[in-house]
Structure 1
C-alpha cells in the first residue's frame, strides 16, 4: 500500500491505538473481515491491509449476500475485485434472509445479523488458528445502538452499546466517526457500493440516524453521537464491575446446578439480584437472555418474603421458590 495522506494516517493510527489496546496479539489469530461492500466495511478492509504492514497476521474476507437486493451480485464482485488487489481470499455465500425472518418471526435486520454470524462461525471452524471477526461498526453505529436499546427499555447492559471485543467479534472502528471514514474513502479513492436500504426510513435505526440524532445535536448544539458513545464507554466499566459482583454472589448462593439459596439474595441490592437472576437463567437455558419483565417478576418473588411461588419463563423454563430455595426447571413435553 502506498504512503498514506496525513489525514488518513491519523485516522488509522487512532483506530489502531484504540482497537489494539484490549485486543490479543493479532499474529496468533486469523482475522476474518466481514465486508458487505459498503463504505464502512471497504474502509475496514483497507485499514486491515495497512495494519498488516505493521504486524503481519493472516487475513481473509467474508461476504454474505442476504438475497434481498437484485444489485447484491455487484456488491460481491466489487468486494472480490478489491480484495484481489491485496491478494486476499474472499469467502462468498448467499442466504435467504427474508425466509429466515419469516421462519423465526423476527425483523429483517435481526435475521440478517443472525445469518451473518452463522456464516462467520461456519468459516471460523475451518481455520487452523483461532479467529477474530473484524466488523466495521463505527462511532455513529454505537450511538444508534444505544438509542435503539433505550427505545426497547433496556437496562444498564444495553446502554453500554457494542463492545470493542465481544467474544471473537472485533470492532476496531468504534472510536472513529462516519465522517472520518468518508474522508478516508475519498482520499484513497476506495470503491464502495451504496445500499439503498440504508436510506429508507422504514427501519427504526435509519430514522434515528437520519432524523433524531441530527435534530438532537442541533438542539443541544453539540455532537450527541459523541456524547452517547462516551456514556456507553463509562457505563461499560460500571456494567463490568456489577457483572463481577453478580458472578461472585451467584457462586455464593449456589447450592447445586439450578438451585440457589434465597436468603443471601434477599439481603442484596435489587440491581445485584437482577443480575444474578439473569446469570442463573442464562446458565439454565444455554445462554439465552432474560427479558426485563420476567426479571422483575422473579425479583418480586424473591423479595416478597414468601416461602413458595412459581414464575413461568421463556423457553419452557420455570423458576420455583420452595422452602427458601429457588430452582430453575424446564417442563418436558409429554411423550
Structure 2
C-alpha cells in the first residue's frame, strides 16, 4: 500500500520536494498516516495540532499523543489551545465553523511566521463524498458539488483520492497507532449522521460508490470550468473596473438569458447572500443598496456599483484635513505633492498650477457639502458642485469618495483629479506658481 501512496505523491505533487511543509495533525487515523507517509518520504515536515478543548480530558490526551509522536519522529511541533465555544458564541457561529476558522487562521499565522511553503491536511475520498451530500441537503450552486480541492492556494490535500478503508489498510500494514475520537461515532452532527446512516446505504446500493462519485466529480469540475470561462467572457463585457470600484452595466445584464443567475456568478466573490434583493436592484430606484459582510451594492442610474464597505465615506460626515504652507507633501487622506516652480508644463486631471499669492493658509482637504460652488476653468460664471457632479455623471460612490482642496476661506481650489477652480488659476504674469500633483 505504501508504494501506491508514494507513487501518487511523487506523480501529482512533485513541487513539494524540498519545500517546508506544515502538516495539520489531530491524532486521528488520517493525519497520523499522512505524517508517517511524508516522514518515510524524507520531506522536511513540521506538525501543527489544535486543542479545541471540546472533549474535556480526551482533548488533552490527543494533545499528549501528538506531542509524543513528534518526539518519536523528531519533527518540530506547534500546539495551541483554543476557547472554541467562547469564540463560537462571540461570533455567532456553530462550533464546527468556529473550529474551522480558528484552525485555518492559526495555520496561516504559522506559515507567515515560520516561512512554511505549504499546509497539508489529511482529507480523503470519504470526506469529499460527505461534503457533497451535506451541500446537497443544504442547497448549493454548482461550486458546492465540485468537491474539496486537492490544491487551494497553499493548502494541499494529497490523500484526497484515497478512501478511509485504504488509509486504514496503510496504517495496519505499517503498525501505525492513532487516537480514536469518540465523538466520531455520535450522530449529533450532520456529517456523522451522513457518514453512519446515509453513506452505508448508498454503498450497499453501489459497492463502487466512491469510484463512481469520483467520475461524477470530474464531470462536474469540467462543467464548472466551462461556466467560469463563460463568466470571464461576460465579465469583460458588462463590468467596468476603476480602482476598488466595479460598475455592472444593467442594460447588458438584462439582455442575458438569465440575469439573476449571471448576477450570482459575477457577485458571489463579494460575499452577498440576499440574492433576491440583489436581483431586484436591477429595477429599483437609484440610491437603493444591498450589503454583504464586506461590500455594498448600489443602484446608480444605469449601473450596479460594487465597493468595499471600508472605502465608503459618508459625505454627510464633516471631516477636514489642514495643510500648512511649509508642507511639501501629504499622504492623508490622499497623497499630494506641493512644489514651487517658475514655469508651467501641461496641466491635467492629476496636476494643476495655482497662483501661490492668492492662497490663504492653512489649505483644507474635505468632502463636498450642500452649498459648495465651483468656478470651473474654461467656463463663465459659477456652478453648484452638485450640478457639476450631475453634468459629469458622477455616481453616488464617486461623489462620496471625491476630495476637495480649499483655501483658508473655504473657497474651492480643486475638485481633486477632476476640475480646477479658475479663481486660483495662475495668470500669465505670475512668477510664483504652486504645482500640486496627486500621486
On whether the aligned pair clears a TM of 0.5, the verdict is: yes
Partner of 2:75: 88
Structure 2 distance, partners of 1:265, 1:160, is 26
Structure 2 distance, partners of 1:261, 1:28, is 48
Structure 1 distance, partners of 2:313, 2:83, is 32
Q: For the Cα contact (< 8 Å) 1:33–1:59, is it kept in 2?
A: yes
CA-based RMSD of the aligned residues comes to 2.5
Partner of 1:178: 164
Unaligned runs of 5+ residues in structure 2 are: 318-439
Residue 303 of structure 2: which of 302, 325, 331 is its match?
Answer: 325
Q: For the Cα contact (< 8 Å) 1:135–1:171, is it kept in 2?
A: yes
Q: Secondary structure at the residue paired with 1:78?
A: helix
Residue 73 of structure 1: which of 56, 60, 67 is its match?
Answer: 60
Structure 2 distance, partners of 1:174, 1:183, is 16
Partner of 2:278: 298
Unaligned runs of 5+ residues in structure 1 are: 1-6, 283-288
Q: For the Cα contact (< 8 Å) 2:278–2:290, is it kept in 1?
A: no
Bigger Cα displacement from structure 2, 108-117 vs 236-245: 236-245
Structure 1 distance, partners of 2:158, 2:276, is 36
Partner of 2:9: 16
Q: For the Cα contact (< 8 Å) 1:277–1:295, is it kept in 2?
A: no
Q: Secondary structure at the residue paired with 1:77?
A: helix
TM-fit CA distance, 1:316: 7.5
Partner of 1:36: 26
Q: For the Cα contact (< 8 Å) 1:16–1:51, is it kept in 2?
A: no
Superposed CA deviations along residues 234-282 of structure 1, whole A, max 9, x for unmatched, are 2122223322432343243233323222223223343444211224xx2
Structure 1 distance, partners of 2:97, 2:294, is 23
Q: Which has the higher helix share?
A: 1
Q: For the Cα contact (< 8 Å) 1:134–1:169, is it kept in 2?
A: yes
Q: For the Cα contact (< 8 Å) 1:34–1:134, is it kept in 2?
A: yes
Superposed CA deviations along residues 133-184 of structure 1, whole A, max 9, x for unmatched, are 1000000000000111111111100001210001111000110000001111
Residue 135 of structure 1: which of 104, 114, 121 is its match?
Answer: 121
- In structure 2, the CA distance between the partners of 1:252 and 1:35, relative to structure 1 (3 Å rule), is same
Pair member with larger Rg: 2
Partner of 1:122: 109
Residue 212 of structure 1: which of 198, 206, 211 is its match?
Answer: 198
Structure 2 distance, partners of 1:86, 1:316, is 44
Q: Secondary structure at the residue paired with 2:23?
A: strand
Partner of 2:253: 265
TM-fit CA distance, 1:230: 2.9
Matched, 1:110 2:88: no
- In structure 2, the CA distance between the partners of 1:238 and 1:28, relative to structure 1 (3 Å rule), is farther
Superposed CA deviations along residues 198-247 of structure 1, whole A, max 9, x for unmatched, are 111000000000001111222x3333344333322321222233224323
- In structure 2, the CA distance between the partners of 1:297 and 1:232, relative to structure 1 (3 Å rule), is farther
- In structure 2, the CA distance between the partners of 1:263 and 1:25, relative to structure 1 (3 Å rule), is same
Q: For the Cα contact (< 8 Å) 2:277–2:290, is it kept in 1?
A: no
Partner of 2:131: 145
TM-fit CA distance, 1:24: 6.5
**How many residue pairs were aligned?**
307
Partner of 2:432: none
Matched, 1:236 2:221: yes
- In structure 2, the CA distance between the partners of 1:24 and 1:327, relative to structure 1 (3 Å rule), is farther
TM-score by structure 1 length? 0.83
Residue 140 of structure 2: which of 148, 154, 160 is its match?
Answer: 154
Q: Which has the higher contact order (CA 8 A, sep 6+)?
A: 1
